[in-house]
């Protein structure tokens, strides 16, 4: 086992490599841990946050707390202890086969995994800002004429002419998108293209004039199970844990010897004063 290292220290407050390991395991969703640990900036920010929390906690413990403040700290510790016990009770039970449960859910809910028709397109955007609408249209027509020439590299054309900020770097590539993702004039034109390499434009939208090139079409189909398996397994795991935790709360609520003073609880009830919650004066009759 690697030696525990002190990463941040100020006075008696310190954060060690072991603290970071435990915090990642307990506070970061499993699917995000590798990404966090692979980024020096994100890891530094995470360590800084851990240190700030611990320093503030140390400062709180160093002063005289009033009864309300002590209750907040005790209540937080109590909730943490309850969660530890819930995890212990759930984890000691034989876990179901989550892979099997995920596949059963996938097969039982085919409509949830229908992937709509998609197109993959590139575009050049010519804006009207800084020029007249006629000038923008004329430039868009010029771009469209060049795009339709044999052997024209559309990505280079986009890098030269497009006024979409991201388009200059990626050759106007929009990737795959389904209906409902783009403004309607653009969407109608893009989905109207049939053959890869086919070009349409200028197409007017609220953003300006577009020259659009079809890269590829994907017909409607079913998302393969392997593509959604990890998410479904996580969903089934969460569903199982919630069910088991619910059972534990139910078990505790039925423990023998529990005494409840219903009258005392009823005495705490404070009916709403609807008049006090009404805003404005009632008009005189």
Q: Checking phi first, is residue 127 left (phi over 0); if not, alpha (psi -120 to 50) or beta?
A: beta
Q: What sign does the CA torsion over 192, 194, 200, 205 have?
A: positive
Q: What is the CATH number of domain 117-219?
A: 3.10.50.40
Domain boundaries, the chain: 6-91, 98-108+223-246, 117-219
Q: Where are the alpha helices (DSSP H) in 92-224?
A: 98-108, 133-147, 154-161, 167-170, 184-192
Q: pLDDT tens across 208-260, in order?
A: 999 999 999 999 999 999 999 999 999 999 999 999 999 999 999 999 999 99
Residues whose CB is less than 8 angstroms from the CB of residue 244 and which lie 6 or more positions away in sequence, other chains included: 89, 90, 93
Q: pLDDT tens across 39-97, in order?
A: 999 999 999 999 999 999 999 999 999 999 999 999 999 999 999 999 999 999 999 99
Neighbours of 74 (CB within 10 A): 10
- Tell whether omega for the bond before 202 is within 30 degrees of 0, i.e. cis: yes
């Amino acid at each position: 086992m690697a030696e525990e290292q002190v990463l941040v220290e100020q006075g008696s407050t310190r954060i060690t490599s072991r603290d970071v390991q435990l915090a990642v395991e307990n506070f970061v969703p499993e699917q995000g841990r590798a990404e966090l640990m692979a980024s020096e900036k994100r890891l530094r920010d995470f360590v800084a946050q851990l240190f700030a929390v611990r320093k503030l906690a140390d400062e709180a413990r160093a002063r005289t707390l009033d009864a309300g403040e002590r209750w907040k700290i005790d209540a937080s510790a109590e909730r943490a202890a309850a969660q530890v016990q819930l995890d212990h009770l759930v984890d000691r039970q034989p876990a179901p086969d989550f892979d099997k449960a995920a596949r059963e859910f996938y097969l039982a809910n085919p409509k949830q995994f229908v992937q709509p028709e998609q197109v993959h397109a590139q575009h050049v955007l010519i804006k009207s800002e800084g020029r007249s609408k006629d000038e923008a249209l004329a430039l868009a027509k010029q771009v469209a004429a060049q795009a339709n020439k044999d052997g024209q590299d559309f990505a280079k054309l986009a890098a030269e002419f497009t006024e979409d900020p991201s388009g200059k770097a990626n050759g106007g590539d929009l990737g795959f998108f389904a209906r409902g993702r783009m403004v309607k004039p653009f969407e109608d034109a893009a989905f109207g293209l049939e053959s890869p390499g086919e070009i349409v434009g200028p197409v007017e939208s609220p953003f300006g004039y577009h020259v659009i090139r079809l890269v590829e079409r994907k017909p409607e189909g079913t998302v393969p199970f392997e593509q959604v398996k990890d998410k479904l397994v996580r969903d089934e795991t969460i569903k199982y844990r919630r069910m088991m935790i619910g059972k534990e709360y139910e078990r505790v609520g039925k423990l023998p010897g529990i005494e409840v003073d219903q009258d005392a609880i009823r005495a705490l009830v404070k009916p709403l004063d609807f008049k006090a919650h009404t805003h404005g004066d009632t008009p005189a009759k």
